Amino acid sequence: MEPGIKEINRKVAEESLFVAELKREIARVIVGQDDVVERILTGLLADGHILLEGVPGLAKTLTIKTVARCVECGFSRIQFTPDLLPADLTGTMVFNPKDSTFTAHQGPLFSNIILADEINRAPAKVQSALLEAMQERQITIGNRTYPLPTPFLVLATQNPIESEGTYPLPEAQIDRFMLKIRVSYPSKAEEKTILERMTSSQIPQASAVAKPAQILRARQIVSEIYLDEKIKGYIMDLVFATRDPEGHKLSKLKNLISYGASPRASIYLAQAAKAFAFLNGRGYVTPEDIKSIGADVLRHRILVSYEAEAENVSSENIIETLFAGVEVP
């Protein structure tokens, strides 16, 4: 092992100690959903926003609130509704009649962790205001621009089965989320534990076990994690195979993909893999890290064709074929 990798491994070992405690504290409230929690922590450490999709009642909101409580920082929950206005998120100028002046009133986006609940219930103007804040990390109120606090992370939820009164996120906007996480039903044993835990007289509450300074230090270490040239090549092959399946010996995907993943996919795949390696106590990225986090980075970036829809082929099926067909270094 190269001296540089040994050094980064040592840093990761020192700085990742809080991760185990964080996971234990979250597990006091959240039963199962280990993959979801791990991916939320991946987004937190990779500085990437997250979209969670799942039917109602799967503890999406509770999971996000618990993570926010475990990290001692600001938290805002915004329940998206069709009558919401952009100013309800960003803030507005308020007139003070006493001295006839306008002062800026900052909205709920001025916090560290933002829960955008049922984002697809808000109209396009509101979604755009949120997504602009996500991208620029700043908000303009009146004639002044205010930087958002650091860390700043948006975790949005959406319900995939309800379409009445919803405004689906356009592809260009959904691409701004680093990860799209699918939240599934718990197992029978997990649901029994949930039943017992949530119907008892003492419902568990999480406590703060990490500070924003630790998260920011960890992010710095994550950016230094070693990414071998072969791993970079693997990322390139995966992303380019979504755009040119035939050139990567995946001709059966040619008519199933309308648009492949953007360059943002390559960037986010590398960043997320580094954060995933950090969570697993390593100072270097392996192909398994790419495979583990790859579906969450790519599933909302591959647009399937009408032919794929007719054949009931989803982006998930395409990603499976992709990882099976692209050679691992």
> What pLDDT does residue 28 have?
84
> What pLDDT does residue 314 have?
84
Of 178, 145, 175, 155, give the one whose Cα is nearest residue 54.
155
In this predicted model, what pLDDT tens digit does every residue of 117-163 receive, in sequence order?
Answer: 888 888 888 888 888 888 888 888 878 888 988 889 999 888 776 66
- d(C-alpha 310, C-alpha 313), whole Å: 8
> What pLDDT does residue 167 have?
66
Q: How buried is residue 100: exposed, middle or buried, by Cβ count under 10 Å (0-12/13-18/19+)?
A: exposed
Of the listed ranges 37-41, 160-164, 187-191, 220-224, the one predicted with least confidence: 160-164
Report, in this order, helix, strand and coil percent for the chain, each rounded to 5. Answer: 50, 15, 35
Q: Which residues pair with 148 in a beta bridge?
A: none
Dihedral of alpha carbons 220, 115, 154, 134, sign: negative
The domains found in the chain, sorted by start residue, are 3-214 (3.40.50.300), 225-325 (1.10.8.80)
Report long-range pairs for 40-43 (Cβ below 8 Å, ≥24 apart).
40/64, 40/67, 40/155, 40/181, 41/67, 41/275, 41/279, 42/179, 42/272, 42/275, 42/276, 42/279, 42/293, 43/153, 43/155, 43/178, 43/179, 43/272, 43/275
- d(C-alpha 76, C-alpha 128), whole Å: 18
Q: Is the pLDDT of residue 165 over 60?
A: no
> What pLDDT does residue 239 have?
92
Q: Is the pLDDT of residue 183 over 60?
A: yes
* pLDDT: which is higher, 161 or 218: 218
pTM of the model: 0.87
> What pLDDT does residue 288 have?
92
Would residue 158 be called left, alpha or beta, if left means φ above 0 and alpha means ψ between -120 and 50 degrees? beta
Contact 234, 273 (CB under 8 A): no
pLDDT band at 164 (very low <50, low <70, confident <90, very high): low
- d(C-alpha 206, C-alpha 190), whole Å: 19
> What pLDDT does residue 233 have?
92
- d(C-alpha 111, C-alpha 127), whole Å: 17
Q: What percent of the chain has pLDDT over 90?
A: 18
- Altogether, the residues listed in the chain come to a count of 329
Scanning 226-298, the segments in alpha helix (DSSP H) are 229-243, 263-279, 287-298
* pLDDT: which is higher, 169 or 66: 66
Mean confidence (pLDDT) of the chain:
85
Q: What is the secondary structure of 103-152 as a DSSP string?
A: EEEE-TTSSSEEEEETGGGS-HHHHHHHHHHHHHSEEEETTEEEEPPSS-
Residue type, 140: T
User: Residue 270: which residues within 8 A CB-CB, separation 6 or more?
Assistant: 227, 232, 235, 285
As a whole number, mean pLDDT of residues 101-122 equals 85
* pLDDT: which is higher, 235 or 311: 235
The first and second tokens of residue 207, run together, are 């406590």
Residue type, 54: G
* pLDDT: which is higher, 170 or 306: 306
The first and second tokens of residue 290, run together, are 């790419």
As a whole number, mean pLDDT of residues 227-248 equals 89
As a whole number, mean pLDDT of residues 191-219 equals 83
The answer to whether the bond into 151 is cis (omega within 30° of 0) is: yes
